[in-house]
Amino acid sequence: MSKVHILDHPLIQHKLSIMRNKETGAKEFRELLEEISMLMVYEVTRDLPTEEVEVETPICVTKTKMLSGKKIGIVPILRAGLGMVEGVTRLIPAARIGHIGLYRDPLTLQPVEYYCKLPADSENRELIVLDPMLATGGSASAAITFIKQRNCHNIRLVNLIAAPEGIRRIQREHPDVDIYVAACDEKLNEHGYIVPGLGDAGDRLFGTK
């Protein structure tokens, strides 16, 4: 069963509260999402393996640690996941970036795929899927299924806010995928929006409403 990691560092909570405020404009919303994504990925990658290397400092030769093992790939779910890319790549500049385009049909709430392009060597990478909102879980679950169909099986899911329904769905459909969230909210409303949530992440990020 996938583990759920709640990354509720005080800085993350503070920034997320500003994002939730409906008066916060697109510029500040974008900046905060980037900052929180950077803080989150620090924890998401806490268990990455390291290996001992020899380094010559100006003083002496010493043994020290560097990352080893699989390289990282990040996969934002379009559109809103794009807002998390910059924060993650600031900490992991060598990460390759794939994109999955999905939108949620407003009537059926079912995910509709319109784009999928992953790095050529994705199956050899640790993939971090990014999307600020995990509501019904339909979009994230479909994105993970597409990734698995391309023979990639080392996957982590990172969301800003999750609803219990979305978490349960990922745990049911992708029990091998750990979930990292800044907050787990109360529920979904009748339109499939997270309550209290922050509204429509894509629209707030890109100022489209």
The only residue of 82, 133, 155, 183 in contact with ligand URA, by rule CB under 6 A: 133
> Please, which of residues 119-178 interact with ligand PRP by CB under 6 A?
131-140, 166
Shortest distance (Å) from residue 54 CB to ligand PRP: 45
CA-to-CA distance for 197 and 204, rounded, in angstroms?
A: 12
Contact 16, 197 (CB under 8 A): no
| Cis peptide leading into residue 196 (ω within 30°) | yes
DSSP strand pairing (50-56 vs 61-67): antiparallel
57 is known as an active-site residue:
no
Q: Which helix (H) or strand (E) holds 14?
A: helix 10-20
Each residue 23-62 as x (binds ligand PRP by CB under 6 A) or -, in order, gives: ----------------------------------------
Among residues 50, 64, 108, 145, which one is catalytic? 108
CA-to-CA distance for 117 and 143, rounded, in angstroms?
A: 11
| Cis peptide leading into residue 96 (ω within 30°) | no
> Please, which of residues 83-122 interact with ligand PRP by CB under 6 A?
103-104, 109, 111
When asked if residue 146 is in the footprint of ligand URA (CB under 6 A), the reply is no
89 is known as an active-site residue:
no
Task: Kindly list the residues in this chain that would bind ligand PRP in the complex (CB under 6 A).
Answer: 77-80, 103-104, 109, 111, 131-140, 166, 192, 200-202
